[in-house]
Amino acid sequence: MIEMVNSGEVDALVAERVWQETVGALREKQVLSFFNVLQTSGALERIFPEINRIFGTRLCLQEAVQLTSDTQVRFAVLIHNLDHESIETLCQRYCVPSQYHDLAIMVARYHSDCHRVAELSPEALLNLFQRLDAFRRPQRFEQFLLACEAIYDLSYPEQCRHAFKIAQKVDVTTVLADGFQGAAIGKELQQRRVQALGWVTPLLTLHD
C-alpha cells in the first residue's frame, strides 16, 4: 500500500470502487482498522484528505459501532467535524448516495444543538425539529439522534428524543377537529406544539 501511495497508483483508484470499499468497511465491527491502515500507509491523506485532517476524532466512530450497524450513521459520525464545504467536496468526489450525504450534513450542522437541548426555548426546540424534518421523516431523525449519542455519549440525545415524542403527540387531526381551516391550521399546530414543549423544557434542565 505504501508503494501504491508513493508511485501515485492510489490516486488512480476508481471513485465508485473507493466508496464501495468504504461502505464495506463501515459494516464491520473493526472499521477503525480500515482507516488506521489507510492513515499509516499514507493513503488516507490522498484518498480522504478531509477525514485525514480530523482523524483525531475517530474514537466517536467506535462509539457508533457499539450503538448501531447502520452505515449511514457511522459515516455521519466519522465526518461530523467537517464543515459543509468539505462534506460536499468529499461526497461529490466519490458519488456518495444522497441518504449518506443528507444525514452527514444534518449531523455536522445540528449535533451541537442536540448537545444543548436543555438550554433551548420551546420555540427553538420546535424549530430544531422542523429544520431536521423530524415530523415528516422520524426514522432519519432517529438516525440523527444515534449519531449524536455516539458523538457525545451523554443524555442529550435521549432528552431530545423525549421532547420530540411530546411534540409529535400534538396531531393535526385535533386541530382540524376544532374547526381550524387554511393557513390557520399550521399556525395553531405550531402554537400547540410550543405549548406542549413548554411543559417539557424545564424538566430537561432539571435532568441535564
pLDDT digits (tens, 9 = 90+) for 111-131: 999 988 888 999 999 999 999
The ranges assigned to domains in the chain are 2-206
Residue 152 has pLDDT above 60, yes or no: yes
Q: CA gyration radius for the chain?
A: 20
Q: List all residues 6 or more positions away from 164 whose beta carbon is below 8 Å from its beta carbon.
A: 129, 134, 141
> Out of 1.10.600, 1.10.3090, 3.30.450, 2.60.40, which CATH number does the structure's domain 2-206 have?
1.10.3090
53-57, 166-170, 181-185, 192-196, range with the lowest pLDDT: 53-57
**pLDDT for the residue numbered 206:** 47
pLDDT digits (tens, 9 = 90+) for 176-201: 999 999 999 999 999 999 999 987 76
